[in-house]
Amino acid sequence: MDIFHAILLSVLAGVTEFLPVSSTGHMIIASQFLQIPQTDFLKTFGIAIQLGCVAAVVGSYWRTFLLDWEIDAKVMVAFVPTAILGFLFYNIIDKKFLENPWVVVWSWFIGGAAIILVERFSPTKGNINGLKKISYTQAMVIGACQVLGLIPGVSRLAATILGGLVLGVERKTIVEFSFLLTVPTLLASVVIDTIKADADISNDQWMLLLLGFLITFVVAWGTIKFLLNYIKRHHFTAFGLYRVIIALITGFFLNLLLS
């Protein structure tokens, strides 16, 4: 991995982690087309950019995390399904799904179609307005939806947003709850990846890790603010269309690349 790859992957992660388009899917496809070697250092770099995303959410919502224990408790309840199933199926997902770009293509397409359909038939405005109005049962259901995000290309954010919309949660509320849920989810992933990491890091590589963390943090912070402003006036249909289109384009070029 060189500095160009580090910058590109950091920007890509910072943008896509907090949009319902799947950051993991974009990273897999980008690595496939750029032919970035799947080394131990690349996995370590993934840890650095995940920490950048966590820092962006904590920086945006530190008052909520520190002062509102009720919301914190609901976030942890929502995290339980992912914690259990993610632990049980981590090796299967890591070895089977993360190496198959076609999983991403189909997940993008199906997830995009789901977003379009839910936006077409769900209420214009949910009746659950505000993080505190989400019940513990609803938090658990939203967390169960996030489990689908373990599949590359699905998007944790898309899965929780769709689950929230179906439950009648107002758009801004479910987006913010999804952001908060990102923190324990990514931290758990970082812990597991760190335990499994086996990279001998040089001084130059440490600089790439720091660069990746900082770029991801800044870009992710901006993406969080962008999405919160975007949903004040728009639905999620555009993201659904994007997913369908990028799935078709990626599938076409994968056929050329692998043929």
| pLDDT score recorded for residue 35 | 83
Q: Whole-model pTM? A: 0.90
| pLDDT score recorded for residue 85 | 84
| pLDDT score recorded for residue 96 | 64
Q: Which amino acid is residue 189, in one-letter code?
A: S
Alpha-carbon gap, residue 115 to 235, rounded angstroms: 10
Dump pLDDT digits (tens) for 210-227. 999 999 999 999 999 999
| pLDDT score recorded for residue 104 | 93
Structure tokens at 244: 């369908």
Spans in the chain with pLDDT lower than 50: none
Question: 3, exposed or middle or buried, with CB in 10 Å at 0-12, 13-18, 19+?
Answer: exposed
Phi, psi dihedrals of residue 20, rounded to the nearest 5°: -80, 55
| pLDDT score recorded for residue 36 | 82
| pLDDT score recorded for residue 101 | 87
At 234 the three-state DSSP class reads: coil
3-state helix, strand, coil in the chain (%, to 5): 80, 0, 20
% pLDDT > 90, the chain: 59
Structure tokens at 40: 């131990």
Alpha-carbon gap, residue 232 to 101, rounded angstroms: 34
Alpha-carbon gap, residue 193 to 211, rounded angstroms: 19
